[in-house]
Amino acid sequence: MRQYVANKIYYLFLGLIVLVIIWLHVSGYLSVNYLNEKFSKFGYAIGIVFFIIATFRIFLLIPHTTFVILALLLFPGKFWLIFFLSVITLFTSGSLLYLLGDKIKILNFRNNPKVEIIKHKLKEKFDKYGIFIIALWSIVPIFNNDLLIYSASVLHIKYWKFMGIDVLFHAVLYAIIIWGSSLFPNIIKFL
């Protein structure tokens, strides 16, 4: 019963956030001009706030690509800054989730022999095809990367191997998004 109530509260809260975002967008508070006008007076302090929020986004299960698009709105024309912030926040949030992943216990896998067999098979597949799995998962922006990071943590995949490949392929995706946005500036203005 508790889980049912918790799920209802979570979906109610999520729906409320979506409604607030829609209202902010319709009322013009999320327009590029408004954001530039309000945040330009803060200078680089907004970059620090952005870094902190984008790093701890994993606790809200917000995809990191959302923050890349938000950075395009907050820092128009500063492509290298956006790229640098995006890659660094991806690394810090991914590292945080990887290091906490085995302790979070989203799914209770302890002392279940069937789950241990599945984990062993997944680890074998990951050792064999891991680079391709990470690369595909990272380069396709519709997948939430947090699930892959959590899985790598639970399966005890080598940290530097995993994070290196993940950050490398996400950097390629972010470069396409960031510098591709300069080719289509009307899309950013539409947001």
Q: What are the residues whose beta carbons fall under 8 Å from the beta carbon of 90, sequence distance 6 or more?
A: 64, 145, 166, 167, 170, 174
Work out the average pLDDT over 36-49: 71
Range ranked top by mean pLDDT from 52-66, 95-109, 113-127 = 52-66
CB 36 within 8 A of CB 76: yes
Give the model's confidence band at 165: pLDDT under 50 very low, under 70 low, under 90 confident, else very high.
confident
Domain ranges of the chain: 1-30, 36-190
**Could you read off the pLDDT of 136-145 as tens digits, one per residue?**
777 776 777 7
pLDDT > 90: percent of the chain? 4
Work out the average pLDDT over 148-162: 82
pLDDT reading at 88 higher than 90 = yes
Which residue intervals of 28-112 are DSSP H helices?
32-39, 45-55, 64-74, 79-104
CB 63 within 8 A of CB 147: no
Rounded distance, CA 188 to CA 26, Å? Answer: 15
HEC string of 156-175 equals CCCHHHHHHHHHHHHHHHHH
Tokens 């606790």, located at residue: 59
pLDDT of 101 reads: 76
**Could you read off the pLDDT of 16-34 as tens digits, one per residue?**
777 777 777 677 766 666 7
